Every structure is written in C-alpha cells, then in structure tokens.
Chains A and B, each alone.
Chain A
Amino acid sequence: MDIQLKRGLLDVCVLSAVKGRDSYGYRIVKDIKPFVEISESTLYPILKRLEAAGQVTVRSAEHNGRLRKYYRITEAGLERIEAFNREWSEMIAIYNFVNREEENNAEE
C-alpha cells in the first residue's frame, strides 16, 4: 500500500484505539494488529506524531509498582477521525463508481 496512505490509516487506527477509553502502548498494538500491520516499534513514532499534533494527550499512572503511560484522544483527534470518515465515504463513492455495473444503453 502507498506509504502516505498507510501512515494516515495507522494514525486513525491509533486514534480510534484510544477513543473509547485511555490506552497504553502494548494494548494499542494488540487492539490494532488484527486489522493493520503494526509493531511496538512502528507505534512509537505514531504516538509521538499524534502527541505533537495535539491529537492525543499523555499521562503517567502507577500500575503494579511501575509507571505506565496512558494516551487519551483530544478534540483535535476526534476531528481527525471525523475527517477520515468523510474522506472515506468519498472514496467509497468513487469505488462504487469504478466498480459499477455497466448500464444498458437507456437512451435507446
């Protein structure tokens, strides 16, 4: 798949993984893996990018005697998902056009 497109999809997948509840690195990878190829190492730059773009916030919380970083989606992150959904419905319309059934010549 095109790298730019894949990168965009991964961003949205990660945003979606922290949408309903705050989540942490290991769980985000586990949640997304069945759908898109992702590893702990590829997640790192994505999280950094989303944080820099203000689409997620990070807080550290204690867990079993150690610190764990939890990521939470922001308004900007939710908007990004919205934008993705809008684009995608356009893509689906194009997909449907490309794969439409050949119409019989209705004018005749």
Chain B
Amino acid sequence: MLKNEFLTALRENLTSLPQEDLERVLDYYSEIIDDCMEDGMTEEEATAEIGSVQEAIANVLSTNPERAVETVKEKTIVSANGASYNGSPFRSIRVNERECDVIMLPSADGMTRVEWSEKLPHTAEVIEGVLTIRREEKRKLGLFMMSFKNEDARLLITIPAGEYSELGISTASGDVKIPGDFSFGTVDVHSASGDIEFRASVSGSMRVKSTSGDVTVEDTDAGSAEIGSVSGDVEAEGINTPGSFSLKTISGDLRVRNSACGEFTAKTVSGDLELDALRCADCTGETVSGDLNAEGLNAQNTLRFVSTSGDIRFGRSDAGSISIRTLSGSVRGSLRTGKMFHCTSRSGSVNVPAPTEGGACEVSTISGSIRLSVES
C-alpha cells in the first residue's frame, strides 16, 4: 500500500471525526510515513511498518469519547429465544474468564447478548448446545503481573430469564454475579481471587467456590449445595435444599441464616462459624481455632460440634441427639428440651441440668467449662 492509499483509507473511514481532528490524524500518519522513508524504507515498507488501517482507525476512535462507548460493546451476539447468531439454540452456558467480572443479566427483549471491552478480547459461540465464552488466551506482554482493576473489565451475559441446563464459570481474578432470574440443572462456579454472588436456583447439584474471594449465596433452592472459599468469608442465606449442604473455608468465616437442608456440614480451620435459624436433618460443625455460634438451630436427628480451641455457644437450639467436643474451648448453650446429659471437663467447671428422658447429649472438654440450660 502506498502512502496516498493509506491516507485515503483513513479519510474514508473517519468521516465521523470533526474536520480539525481528521486533518490532525492525516498529518500525523503522513509525517510518520515520511520519517520512515527518510530512515531508508521504501514507501510500501513504510506503510507496512505502521500496521493495518483498521488498527489506526481503532486507535484514533479510542480517543474520541463518543465512539469509545460503542467500541466497548463492539462484539455482540444478538439473537432471539436463546438461539445464537448462527441459529443454534443453547441450553447450557460455559464461561472461561481471566480478569473480567462475569455478570449475568436477564434480557428484557428475549435476545441474547454477550458484551465485552474490545481491549479484552473474548470469543463467544454455541458449541453443541453450549453457549461457550472464552477470554482469548493471547497475552501480549508478560513483564509484570500486577492486577489493578480496569473499569472496562466486565463480561456482560444477557440471556432470557428462565431455565437452563448447566452453568459453568471459571475465572481468575474477576468477580461473578448471577441474579435470581435464572434456574439451572447443575452449577459449578469457581473464581480464584474474585468474589462470587449467586442468587439463582438449581435443581441438581450446586458448587460455588472461590480461593481468596468472598462467596455469597442467597435465596437459592438447590438439589444439593457446596459452597466454599479458602481465605474468603462465606455467607449463605435463604438456602433450601432437601439434599446435603456443605460449607468449607480455611481462614474465612462461615455464616448461614434462615436455611433448611438435609445433611448439613460446615468446616473451617481458623474462621468462626455462625448458624442462625438453620433447620436440617443432621448437623456437623467443625473448627480448629474458630468459635462456633448457633441460634435457633434445629437438627432433627444428630447435632455434632467439634473444635480444638474454639468456644461453642448455642441458644434456642435442639436436636435428636447431641455430641460436642472441644479441647480448650468452653461450651455454653440453651436447649429446647431435656436430654440425657453426659458432660465431662477435666479441669473446667460443669453446670448442666439433671438428666431427663430424651435423646443423648454428650459434651466433653479438657480445660474448658460447660454450662447448659433447658428452656421450658
């Protein structure tokens, strides 16, 4: 391509620019091509050195605020009723993301759109019924790996509200937000350092996990639920599952409110465990150094609390049978009904009501004290 052809192509494609800006762009490229030629290149080499006309246009338009808004949403799939641009419908959604926040939204017009910043290229296509969205792998510069967040770093997935088969999301540093407008067969969401907010319902199994981010799950019906983080906090409210409900962290706190489930398990090493208004068939709570607090807990069959050095407290709670063990922590609690109490502490004080008929309540600690009461 010769210099004149390059400049003409620019002129023809930048008609939206004010005349003054256009002249400035043309002067700029004209000067650069002249300088390249002065440096010993031929005219063709000089235009090749600059790169493509498209690249030039994209860069010029990125400085124009009106156009910048458009380019942010440049790549878009538009379709009706869950059919993609090429007409194939999808039942499942799979997202492989790196730094962008993944945000799902219900579409108002029944169309499907996937939007991202053109500076963070993705691909979106329907493969065998799965809307597959990937952050493109190409990494141009690998010098520094600092992750200051960029405001454009969002992946917006707008799809019709309703039922889908599978949802799979994995992301490195981006957050994930799934609102309550959707229901899925199975869900597997994982973020390495991002936070996760999940409100959709799931008929089968649900796994929502982050490594260092916080995880919030709210108002969710699920077949079974597995929620966790390594160092982040986990909060679950309004979870309803006939199956198992398990929560796990290493150093984060675990908090569960107003939920009902079959088998309940919560494990943390140094985080605290807080249960408020939980109804379940069986309940297991384990910590190493974290405290364990329960209020209004009702386990139909068994309740098991285990801690090494954490304190254990519960109020207005009950279970068919109760087993509590801690080494150095103390145990305080009030129960709804009398139990066959069997409580021992090697060096701490023990203060419990007289045993009555009812389920077993075994409490043991080495150095902590035990105080239990029965509310009538």
CB < 8 Å neighbour of A41 from B59, B119, B148: B59
Query: Which of A3, A5, A42, A69 contacts B28, CB < 8 Å?
Result: A69
Give complex CA distance A67, B39 in Å. 16
A42-62 toward B: CB 8 Å interface, digit per residue (1/0)? 101100110000000000000
| B55 close to chain A: CB less than 8 A | yes
Q: Which among B49, B55, B140 is the interface contact of A37 at CB below 8 angstroms?
A: B140
Closest to A45 in B: B63
Of B50, B56, B141, B149, the contact of A6 (CB 8 Å cutoff): B141
Closest CB of chain B to A54's CB: distance in Å?
16
Say whether, besides A3-B120, A49-B63, A24 and B31 are in contact (CB < 8 Å). yes
Q: Does A2 contact B (CB under 8 A)?
A: yes
Known contacts: A3-B119, A25-B31. The answer to whether A45 contacts B59 by CB under 8 A is yes
| B 121-151 contacts with A by CB, 8 A | 140-150
CB B162 to nearest CB in A, in angstroms, measures 35
Give the residues from 1 to 51 in chain B that come closer than 8 angstroms, CB to CB, to chain A.
Answer: 25, 27-29, 31-32, 34-36, 38-39, 49-51
A39 CB contact (under 8 Å) in B31, B55, B144 = B55
In whole angstroms, how far apart are the Cα atoms of A91 and B146 in the complex? Answer: 10
Q: What are the residues of chain B within 8 A of A39 when measuring CB–CB?
A: 50-51, 55
Are A26 and B35 in contact, with the CB atoms below 8 A? yes
The answer to whether residues A3 and B36 also contact, given A41-B50, A48-B63, A67-B31 and a CB cut-off of 8 A, is: no
Within 8 A of B (CB), among A12-49: 24-27, 36-37, 39-42, 44-45, 48-49
Total A-B Cβ pairs within 8 A: 79
Cβ of B62 within 8 Å of any chain A Cβ, yes or no, is yes
**Known pairs A45-B60, A69-B28; A3 contacts B150 (CB<8 A):** yes
Report the minimal beta-carbon distance from B140 to chain A, rounded to whole angstroms: 6
Query: With A and B bound together, what is the CA distance between A48 and B20 in angstroms?
Result: 13
Min Cβ gap A57→B in Å is 15
Q: B99 contacts the other chain (Cβ, under 8 Å)?
A: yes
| Shortest CB distance B64–A (Å) | 9
| Structural contact, A2 and B25, CB atoms closer than 8 A | no
Q: A41-B50, A44-B25, A67-B31 are in contact. Are A1 and B59 (CB under 8 A)?
A: no
Highest count of chain B CB atoms <10 Å: which of A48, A49, A64: A48
CB <8 Å contact, B35 and A4: no
Task: Tell me the complex Cα distance, A24–B28, Å.
Answer: 10
Which 3 A-B pairs rank lowest in CB-CB distance, beginning with the nearest?
Answer: A26-B35, A45-B63, A1-B141
Sample of 8 more A-B contacts, CB < 8 Å, known A40-B51, A44-B59, A67-B31:
A2-B144, A2-B146, A2-B150, A6-B141, A25-B28, A26-B39, A66-B34, A68-B35
- Chain B residues proximal to chain A, CB less than 8 Å: 25, 27-29, 31-32, 34-36, 38-39, 49-51, 55-56, 58-60, 62-63, 99, 119-120, 140-150, 152-153
Residues of A at under 8 Å CB distance from B?
1-6, 24-27, 36-37, 39-42, 44-45, 48-49, 64, 66-69, 91
Q: List 20 A-B contacts (CB under 8 A).
A: A1-B144, A2-B147, A2-B149, A4-B148, A4-B149, A5-B144, A25-B31, A26-B31, A26-B35, A39-B50, A40-B29, A40-B49, A41-B56, A41-B59, A44-B28, A45-B60, A45-B63, A67-B27, A68-B35, A69-B27
